[in-house]
């Protein structure tokens, strides 16, 4: 089985701070990978690098075998656009456009990129709002929604371009505890539909339940990688044990 995502020796520095220290991992089609680890260990930076929101300092990222960056050298703009369009990203703070309705938020990217005619795009947004349980909110503005609803809109928006990879950066960290469940349910449903996903999360129970594999990051490295049983059952490394016991 060929990998959906291949990350090789990925390096990123901010000035003299080495945030990613030659990280290597693969994600297979349909796999759900949860990334856990202490604050500042480089989880967000790794995820943002995959969609070119950060430029890395070295190493390679291949998506569907196509290099976004290879040995530190980036692909041309057209290739970067095409590769990153195959991935949807969901952020901790939703990042919805406040001046657009829910439907407007969903339709902006496909309209800008001319992915279908307006009727097709409207039909798709309707279908996805129904999927996340928000059919009645199409005309509402983000400020009128709860955090859980905003995040479900953000997930629907991330699905508008038919991505085959979804990336989540702490999707429930900004939510009140009673609102996390509705967002995790949507992610769980996507997992059941075999969506390939990388989820940075502090929700250990969710990671244990939904992930096929856990990457534990510490100090810019992947300190451990394994099934939830391997990571949660008998942590081999002292720092993993310490981290998990804090939670």
Ligand X SMILES: Nc1ncnc2c1ncn2[C@@H]1O[C@H](COP(=O)(O)OP(=O)(O)OP(=O)(O)O)[C@@H](O)[C@H]1O
Which CB atom, from 66 or from 93, has the smaller least distance to ligand X? 93
Which CB atom, from 134 or from 184, has the smaller least distance to ligand X? 184
Binding site for ligand X (CB under 6 A): 14, 17, 19, 37, 39-45
| Alpha carbon distance 10, 7 (integer Å) | 6
Closest distance between ligand X and the C-beta of residue 124, in Å? 31
Closest distance between ligand X and the C-beta of residue 217, in Å? 6
Which CB atom, from 102 or from 166, has the smaller least distance to ligand X? 166
Closest distance between ligand X and the C-beta of residue 235, in Å? 18
Closest distance between ligand X and the C-beta of residue 35, in Å? 8
Give every CB contact of residue 228 below 8 A, 6+ residues apart in sequence: 34, 207, 208, 209, 211, 213, 214
| Alpha carbon distance 187, 209 (integer Å) | 12
| Alpha carbon distance 195, 165 (integer Å) | 7
Closest distance between ligand X and the C-beta of residue 204, in Å? 13
Cβ–Cβ < 8 Å for 95, 155: no
Rounded to the nearest 5°, which phi and psi values hold at 118? -55, -35
| Alpha carbon distance 167, 7 (integer Å) | 15
């Amino acid at each position: 089985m060929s990998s959906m995502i291949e990350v090789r020796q990925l390096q990123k520095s901010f000035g003299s701070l080495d945030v990613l220290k030659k990280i290597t991992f693969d994600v297979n089609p349909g796999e759900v990978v949860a990334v856990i680890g202490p604050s500042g260990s480089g989880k967000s930076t790794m995820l943002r690098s995959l969609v070119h929101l950060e430029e890395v300092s070295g190493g390679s990222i291949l998506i569907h075998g196509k290099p976004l960056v290879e040995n530190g050298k980036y692909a041309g703009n057209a290739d970067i656009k095409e590769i990153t369009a195959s991935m949807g990203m969901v952020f901790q703070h939703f990042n919805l456009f406040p001046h657009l309705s829910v439907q407007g938020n969903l339709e902006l990217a496909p309209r800008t990129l001319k992915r279908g005619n307006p009727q097709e795009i409207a039909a798709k947004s309707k279908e996805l709002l129904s999927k996340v349980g928000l059919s009645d909110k199409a005309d509402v503005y983000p400020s009128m929604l709860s955090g859980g609803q905003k995040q479900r809109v953000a997930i629907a928006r991330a699905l508008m371009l038919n991505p085959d990879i979804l990336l989540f950066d702490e999707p429930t960290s900004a939510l009140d505890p009673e609102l996390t469940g509705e967002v995790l349910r949507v992610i769980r449903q996507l997992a059941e539909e075999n969506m390939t996903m990388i989820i940075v999360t502090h929700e250990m129970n969710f990671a244990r339940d939904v992930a096929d594999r856990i990457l534990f990051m510490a100090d810019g490295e992947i300190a451990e990688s394994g099934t939830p049983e391997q990571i949660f059952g008998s942590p081999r490394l002292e720092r993993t044990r310490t981290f998990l016991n804090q939670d």
